[in-house]
Amino acid sequence: MIKTIGIILIAAVIVWIEVPPLLEKQYKKELLVFSILLAIGGGLSITLFGFEKTIPNPFDLLTFIFKPLNDFISHFLK
Amino acid sequence: MMQDVKINSYQFLVLVILFTIGTSILTVPSALATGAKQDAWIAAIIGTGIGLLVIWLLITIALWFPHLTYVQMIEKLFGRWIGKALAAFFVLIVLFYASELLYYFGLFLNIHMMPNTPMVVLNILMAGIVVMGVRLGLETFARTAEILIVVFFAFFFILVVCLSPEMKFENIQPVYEMGTKKIIQSSIFYVIVSSVNAVVLLMIFPSFVNKMKQGRKTFLIGNLIGGIVIIIITFLSVTVLGIDKTAGEIYPSYELTKRINIGNFIQRIEGLMASLWVITLYFKTTLYFYASVLGMAQILNLKDYRPLTLPLGMIAVVLSLVIYPNIIYQKHFDDTTGNSLTLSIGLFLPLLLVVIYAIRKRMKKNEIEI
C-alpha cells in the first residue's frame, strides 16, 4: 500500500514538473502522448511494486517471433 | 527546438569511443574466450575489422540524407505507414536496450559492491542521471563526455601499466590453434555488441554534427579506438587470468583488476575499474535512451522530446526489472534473440534501405527520361 502511494506521489511530481510548461505553450499533442506514457509507466509500476504481480516479459514474445531467425543464425555459426 | 542542436566532431568522436567500449568491456572477453579460447585476442582484432566495414555501410547510408535522423530516413524511404511501423519497432528495441543496460548496471553493483541494496534502487539512481542527461540535451552530455573521456583513459592507462607485470605469455600459446573459421565465428558476437549496435548513433550522426565530412572520418576512428581498448582488455584477460577463468567469469575484466599487486602495497584497486564501467555504461545507456525518446517524438511529429523523458524513464526502470528474470535467461537471450534483434535493426534494415534507395532512384531516373 505504501509503495502504491509512493508511486502515485512520484507520478504527481512528474505531472507537476511537466504539465504547466506544456499548457502554457498549448502543446496539445505532446500533452496527450505524455499522459498516455505516464499512465502506462504508472500502471506498470503499481502492478509490479504495489500489487506485487508479475508482468509478462516482452522478451518472451520477441523470442517467439524471432525463433526462425535465431535458428538460421545459430545454424550459420555452427 | 529540436533541430538547432549541434555538437562538434571531437565531441562526436568521444561519444563514439564511449559507445563502442560501452558494454563490450564487460561481456566481450568472456564471450570471446568461450569460443576462440587462447586466440580470443585475434578474434577481437578480426571483430574490429569487420566492425569497421559495418560502420562504413552505416556512414554511407547516413550521408545520403545529411539532415535526417535514422527514424526520419526510414519514414522517408518506406513511405508513411510502413516507415512509421518499422521506425516504431526500432524505437521499441532501443528502449529495451536502454533498460537492458540499466539491468547490467544494477546487477553489477548489486553483486560486487552493494549486496544489501535492492536492485531497483540502483536502477532508479542510474535511470535518474540518464533522464537528467537526456533532458539537458545532446550538447550537455557531449560536453560531459569530453571531460570524462580523460578520466577514462587515465584510469585505463593505470590499469594496463599495473597489470603488465602479471602477464604470462604461456596462456596464449599455441597461437592460432583454433583456426580461421572458429575465430571469425566467435568474433561475430563482439561485432554485434559494439559495431552493429552503433546504428543508434545514426540518430545523431549526420544531422546533429556540425562538420559532416569530418564526421565521416571521426565515426571510423572512434570505432577503431574503442576496438583497440577492447583488444587490449581481451588480451590482458587471457594472458593474466588464463582461458578457463576468463571464459567462466561473468565479468572477467573485474576479476582482472583484483590481480593487481605492486610490491604488496598497491592492491585491490578494482573500484577504479568499476568507475571505468560506470562511465562507459552511462554514456551507452544515455545514447540509447536519447535515441528512443527522440525517435518516438519524431514518429509522432512532436515539437519537443523533453516531456517524454520522465514517463519513459519510469517505463525503462520497470522493464529493467522484468526483462531478465535471472542471469541464465540473460546469457541465453543475449546469445540468441539479442543477436537477431540487433542484426535486424542494425544490419538487415540498413541493407533493405540500400535496396529501396537504389530502386527509387532508378524509378525517378526513368520518369525523367520519359
B51 to B16, B28, B227: CA distances (angstroms): 13, 14, 9
Residue B95 CA to its chain's centroid (Å): 13
Q: Please give the pLDDT value at position B362.
A: 87
Query: CA-nearest residue of chain B to A13?
Result: B310
Question: Would you call B307 and A22 a contact, using CB atoms and an 8 Å cutoff?
Answer: yes
A44 contact residues in B (CB cutoff 8 A): 314-315, 318
- Name residues 16-75 of chain A within 8 A of B (Cβ): 17-18, 22, 27, 29-31, 33-34, 37-38, 40-42, 44-45, 48-49, 54-55, 57-59, 62-63, 66, 69-70, 73-74
Query: CA-nearest residue of chain A to B100?
Result: A59
B185, B296, B307 ranked by CB distance to A77: nearest: B185
B312 contact residues in A (CB cutoff 8 A): 37, 41
Q: Please give the pLDDT value at position B22.
A: 86
Name residues of chain A where pLDDT drops below 50.
none
Q: Please give the pLDDT value at position B1.
A: 45
Q: For cell 575484466, name the residue.
A: B253
CA distance B317 to B119: 10
The alpha carbon of residue B313 is apart from the nearest alpha carbon of chain A, in Å, by 8
* A12 CB within 8 Å of a chain B CB: no
Q: Please give the pLDDT value at position B3.
A: 57
Q: For cell 561485432, name the residue.
A: B191
Which DSSP state fits B240?
I
What is the DSSP code string of A4-57? Answer: HHHHHHHHHHHHHHHHHHHHHHT-HHHHHHHHHHHHHHHHHHIIIIIS-PPPPP
**What pTM did the predictor assign?**
0.93
ipTM of this predicted structure: 0.92
B353: which 3 cell numbers?
Answer: 534501405
Counting Cα atoms < 13 Å in the Cβ hemisphere of B117 gives 16
B20 to B7, B51, B93, B199, B234: CA distances (angstroms): 18, 10, 18, 11, 14
Backbone φ and ψ of B310, nearest 5°: -65, -50
Name residues of chain B where pLDDT drops below 50.
1, 370
B188 contact residues in A (CB cutoff 8 A): 77
Digit-coded pLDDT (tens) for B237-290: 999 988 888 888 888 888 888 888 888 888 888 887 788 889 999 999 999 999
Question: Beta partners for B267?
Answer: B261
Closest CA to B91 of B255, B265, B312: B312
Helix axes A58-65, A67-77, angle to 10 degrees: 70
CA distance B1 to A76: 46
CA distance B31 to B39: 12
Question: Beta partners for A34?
Answer: none
